[in-house]
Structure 1
Amino acid sequence: MSTTSYRLPGPLGKLLAALPAFPGSLLFVQGLNLLLVRHLPADTLQALHGRSLRIRVADAGVQFDFSWDGRGFVAARRHAEPALTIAATAHDFLLLMQRKEDPDTLFFSRRLAMEGDTELGLLVKNTLDSIDLPAPFGVRPRTGSDRL
């Protein structure tokens, strides 16, 4: 497992942070709907219904606000306070997507932060841990030895 956390260069982060948030959220939910929705259990989708979520890429200065509307993930204008915010650097999110790093390891090393509804956060984490995701970004299914 990686112990080094890489950050985007400051000027690139400032440039990305200057972009409007809503178009990024639209693109983000398109990816979620294409790659993830068909793998999510019905009880998880029911628990997500109407709940506001935010993914914050700390070093890029961007965040994606979205929710589940019963048919798919939908982009949202910035919520004052989402039910759950998950934050990490771009590199750490990439490691998570590739399953090269465990969310618990990142959380306890303070490289992954969850704010808000902790029960919802655990549901999201456990659901993502339990499903075999498609192969973008070199994703591979986890084996028992990959988990804590």
Structure 2
Amino acid sequence: MTPNRFLLPEPVGKLLSLLPVYPGSLLFATGLNLALKSNLPADVQQSLSGKKLRIKVTDACLSFDFVWNGSRFAAGSSQGEPDLTIGASAHDFLLLAQRKEDPDTLFFSRRLSMEGDTELGLLVKNTLDAIDLPVFELGKLAPSRVFGRIKTGSGNSNS
């Protein structure tokens, strides 16, 4: 198997794994609240209530634990097993956020994993598919001098 050129280098992952879990989970939950909270249907909120979820960025050796507490996403503890863990590389999560890759394609090519309550996983996937979210674009986060070299288009090197 050839190495994926889009994976973070192993030393970077080892360094990131030393970061404390809770602050990252708090930031992740805050981001989910900003992006999703107002778009979650009542039946989805009820199904998510009290469920412990984990996003695992495999090549970065990072995990984000969170729960839906009935009114918002909240950072969770990394203690105990989550009800659902969704894992992928940082690059593949970016492709999903940019809507350049479909979760089913990543799942069936074994680049996206789902462990735990598969019914909950399908609920999460179908809910995200149904919500019209803005596409995540790196270029809007910082001036072009920071992300100017990152190609987010069709791959054409002519800029």
Query: Which letter maps to 2:26?
Result: L
Name which of structure 1's ranges 34-43 and 110-119 shifts more when overlaid on structure 2. Answer: 34-43
- Displacement of 1:9: 1.4
| Distance (Å, rounded) in 1 between the aligned partners of 2:78 and 2:62 | 11
C-alpha separation in 2, matches of 1:38 and 1:124: 15
| Residue equivalent to 2:80 | 80
The 3-state SS of whatever aligns with 1:7 is coil
Could you list the structure 1 runs, at least 4 aligned residues long, displaced by more than 6 angstroms after superposition: none
* Structure 1 equivalent of residue 131 of structure 2: 131
Q: In the alignment, which residue of structure 2 is the partner of 1:146? A: none
Query: Which of the pair has the greater relative contact order for Cα pairs under 8 Å at 6+ separation?
Result: 1
Counterpart in the other structure of 1:35: 35
Q: Is the 8 A contact 2:84 2:121 kept in 1?
A: yes
Question: Structure 1 residue 23 and structure 2 residue 23: aligned?
Answer: yes
Asked if 1:11 corresponds to 2:11, the answer is yes
Q: Is the 8 A contact 2:59 2:89 kept in 1?
A: yes
Whole-Å Cα distance in 2 between the matches of residues 8 and 40 of structure 1? Answer: 32
Gaps of 5+ in 2: 139-159
Structure 1: runs of 5 or more not aligned: 139-148
Distance 1:38 1:123 in 2: 17
Identity level (%): 65
Distance 1:135 1:107, change over 3 A: closer
Question: With structure 1 as the length reference, what TM-score do the two structures score?
Answer: 0.87
Q: Structure 1 90/41 Cα, relative in aligned 2: closer, same or farther at 3 Å? A: same
AA in 2 matched with 1:34: L
Residue type at the aligned position of 1:14? K
